[in-house]
C-alpha cells in the first residue's frame, strides 16, 4: 500500500512539474488603510479576501470561497484517468495563472484527410470565474488548429467535497466527457462527407462577423473587409487540404481563430481558444454548421463525390 502511495505521489509531482503547475495559492484577508486626522493610520480588515500566488494578487473573493489547489486537481485527474485507462500528461496555466488546465490523451482519429489529436481537458480557475469543468480539446495535425468545447452536460464537481467523493465524481465526469467526445468525432466525420455550398459559407460569415452578406461591399468597414479576406484565405487553404467539404469549412474557422485572430503569445492564444472570443467564434460556428447539416441532410443531402 505504501509503495502505491509513493508511486501516486511521484506521478502527481511529475505531472505538476512537467506542466508548470507545481505551486499553490493562498486565501488572505484584505485590509484597508484609514488615515485618522491627528493620529496614526489604521489598518482595518474588510470582509473580502485575496487569492494570492506569492506576492501576486489573482482575484478578490468572498468569505465562503475555498481555493482548489493544483495538486488536488492533479491527484483527482490522475486517479480518475487511471481508473478508465487513459493518461493525464499535459497541462498548463492561462491568464497569468488565474486559470489552469490538465489534459488526458485519447487515441488519435482520422477525420477527412487529417489525423486529429484528442484530449479530455479539466479546467479550473483561481479567480472565482468558474468551477472545475470538463471538455474536449481537438487539434488537426496538419494545420495545428485547436478546437475546444466545454461540456455543459457534465456536472462540475465542487471544491469542498472530500477526496474520495471528488475522485468518484471525476471518474463519472471523465467517462461522460469521453462519450461526448466520441459523438463530436461522429459529427466531424459527417462534416467530411458533405459537400460544401455557398449557403452555409454565407451563414458562417454572418455568424462570425455579424454582417449582412447581401449588403453592398461599400457598406462594410475596412476592418470587416480585412477580416473577411483573411477568413477567405483560411478557408481556401483548408479546402486545398480537405477538399470542398463542410469539414474544410469548419477547419477554415478554426484556422482563422488559431492563426489569424488569436494573440501571438502562447498564453494569450490558449486562453482565447479555451475561454475567450476565439472559443465563442469556434463554438457558435460549429453550432451554425450543425444546424445547417440537420436542416439539409434529410432530403437534399449532397455527399462528397
Which pTM value belongs to this model? Answer: 0.87
**Chain position carrying cell 506569492:** 54
Give the pLDDT mean for 7-24: 96
Q: For the segment 48-61, what is each residue's pLDDT rounded down to a tens digit?
A: 999 999 999 999 99
Count up the domains in the chain and report the number. 3
pLDDT for 1: 40
**Same domain (yes/no): 197, 185:** no
Residue 302 inside a domain? The answer is no
φ/ψ of 237, rounded to 5, equals -65, -45
Mean pLDDT of the residues in the chain: 90
Choose one of 61, 85, 101: the last residue of a domain. Answer: 61
**Same domain (yes/no): 78, 163:** yes
pLDDT for 302: 46
φ/ψ of 218, rounded to 5, equals -65, -20
**Same domain (yes/no): 84, 182:** yes
**Same domain (yes/no): 102, 174:** yes
Residue 305 inside a domain? The answer is no
**Same domain (yes/no): 259, 165:** no
**Same domain (yes/no): 46, 120:** no
Range of the domain at 288: 193-296
pLDDT for 158: 64
Choose one of 128, 162, 190: the last residue of a domain. Answer: 190
Q: For the segment 116-165, what is each residue's pLDDT rounded down to a tens digit?
A: 999 999 999 998 887 788 999 999 998 899 999 999 888 666 666 676 77
List beta partners, residue 16.
none
Choose one of 61, 96, 111: the last residue of a domain. Answer: 61
Q: For the segment 219-270, what is each residue's pLDDT rounded down to a tens digit?
A: 889 999 999 999 999 999 999 999 999 999 999 999 999 999 999 998 899 9
How far apart are the C-alpha atoms of 249 and 201, rounded to whole Å? 7
Tell me which residue of 229, 275, 277 sits closest to 257, measured CA to CA.
277
Amino acid at each position: 500500500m505504501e509503495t502505491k502511495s509513493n508511486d501516486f505521489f511521484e506521478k502527481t509531482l511529475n505531472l505538476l512539474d512537467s506542466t508548470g503547475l507545481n505551486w499553490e495559492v493562498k486565501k488572505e484577508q484584505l485590509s484597508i488603510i484609514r488615515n485618522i486626522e491627528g493620529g496614526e493610520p489604521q489598518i482595518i480588515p474588510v470582509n473580502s479576501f485575496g487569492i494570492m500566488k506569492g506576492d501576486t494578487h489573482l482575484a478578490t473573493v468572498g468569505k465562503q470561497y475555498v481555493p482548489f489547489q493544483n495538486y488536488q486537481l492533479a491527484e483527482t485527474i490522475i486517479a480518475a484517468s487511471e481508473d478508465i485507462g487513459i493518461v493525464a500528461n499535459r497541462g498548463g496555466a492561462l491568464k497569468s495563472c488565474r486559470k489552469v488546465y490538465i489534459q488526458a490523451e485519447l487515441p488519435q482519429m482520422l477525420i477527412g484527410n487529417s489525423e486529429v489529436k484528442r484530449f479530455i481537458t479539466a479546467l479550473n480557475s483561481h479567480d472565482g470565474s468558474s468551477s472545475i469543468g470538463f471538455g474536449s480539446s481537438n487539434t488537426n495535425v496538419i494545420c495545428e488548429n485547436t478546437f475546444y468545447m466545454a461540456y455543459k452536460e457534465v456536472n462540475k464537481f465542487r471544491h469542498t467535497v472530500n477526496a474520495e467523493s471528488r475522485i468518484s465524481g471525476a471518474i463519472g465526469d471523465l467517462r461522460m466527457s469521453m462519450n461526448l467526445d466520441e459523438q463530436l468525432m461522429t459529427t466531424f466525420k459527417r462534416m467530411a462527407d458533405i459537400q460544401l455550398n455557398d449557403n452555409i459559407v454565407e451563414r458562417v460569415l454572418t455568424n462570425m462577423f455579424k454582417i449582412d452578406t447581401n449588403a453592398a461591399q461599400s457598406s462594410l468597414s475596412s476592418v470587416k473587409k480585412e477580416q473577411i479576406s483573411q477568413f477567405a484565405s483560411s478557408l481556401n487553404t483548408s479546402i486545398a487540404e480537405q477538399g470542398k467539404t463542410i469539414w474544410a469549412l469548419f477547419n477554415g474557422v478554426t484556422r482563422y481563430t488559431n492563426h489569424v485572430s488569436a494573440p501571438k503569445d502562447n498564453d494569450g492564444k490558449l486562453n482565447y481558444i479555451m475561454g475567450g472570443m476565439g472559443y465563442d467564434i469556434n463554438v457558435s460556428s460549429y453550432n451554425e454548421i450543425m444546424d445547417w447539416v440537420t436542416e439539409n441532410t434529410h432530403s437534399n443531402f449532397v455527399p462528397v463525390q
